[in-house]
Amino acid sequence: MSNSSVLPFLESKLEDKATILRGRMFRHGYVFVRNAVPADVIQRVRETVLGFCAEAGWLDSSRPLVDGYANLAYPPTTEGKQDYFAVYRKVLKDAGFHALPEHPNLMSIAAKLLNHAQPLVHPRRIGRITFPNFEVATTPPHQDHFYIRGTVETYSCWVPLGDIRRELGGLAVWPGSHRLGFREHDKVTAGAVGGRGVDAEELALPDAPVWHSIDFQPGDALFFHAYTVHKANPNLSGDRLRLSTDNRYQRPNETIEPGALLPHYNLN
CA distances (Å), origin 212, targets 42, 170, 268: 23, 11, 36
What is the rounded CA–CA span in Å between residue 190 and residue 239? Answer: 24
Q: Report residue 232's pLDDT band, with 50, 70 and 90 as the boundaries.
A: very high
Q: What's the mean pLDDT in 14-26?
A: 98
pLDDT in tens, 142-164: 999 999 999 999 999 999 999 99
Q: Does the N-terminal peptide bond of residue 209 adopt cis geometry, omega within 30 degrees of 0?
A: no
Instruction: Walk me through the domains of the chain, giving residue ranges and CATH numbers.
Output: 5-259 (2.60.120.620)
With 70 as the cut, is the pLDDT of residue 45 above it? yes
Look at residues 63, 115, 124 and name the one whose alpha carbon lies nearest to residue 246.
124
Q: Which helix (H) or strand (E) holds 195?
A: none
pLDDT in tens, 88-128: 999 999 999 999 999 999 999 999 999 999 999 999 999 99
Q: What SS3 state is found at 192?
A: coil
With 50 as the cut, is the pLDDT of residue 1 above it? no
pLDDT in tens, 157-194: 999 999 999 999 999 999 999 999 999 999 988 888 88
Quote the DSSP letter at residue 136: G
Strand partners, 196: 188
Give the pLDDT confidence score for residue 3 in this predicted structure.
55
